[in-house]
Amino acid sequence: MTHQLIRRLTRRRVTSGRRDRGMTTAEYAVGIMAACTFALVLLGVVKSDAVRGALAGIVQSALGIAG
């Protein structure tokens, strides 16, 4: 009885692993696309005049304190 249960559970685990073949590649592709999209949005925000001015002010303030 126990031997049959173990065999059944082992068989399920082996067959369920086969269904996910190739999923890792698709998940990596989606993750890379999301990261690239986020990078482009962040680049657009950082290149805007308002953020550029704020960053320049922070850097000048930090250099003024240090120097």
Q: What is the pTM of this model?
A: 0.49
What the block records as the tokens of 12 is 């399920």
- Model confidence over 19-46: pLDDT tens digits? 666 668 888 999 999 999 999 999 999 8
22: CB partners within 8 A, 6+ apart: none
Name the domain count of the chain.
Answer: 1
- Condensed to tens digits (0 to 9), the pLDDT of residues 54-64 reads 999 999 999 98
SS3 20: coil
Give residue 57's domain range.
Answer: 2-66
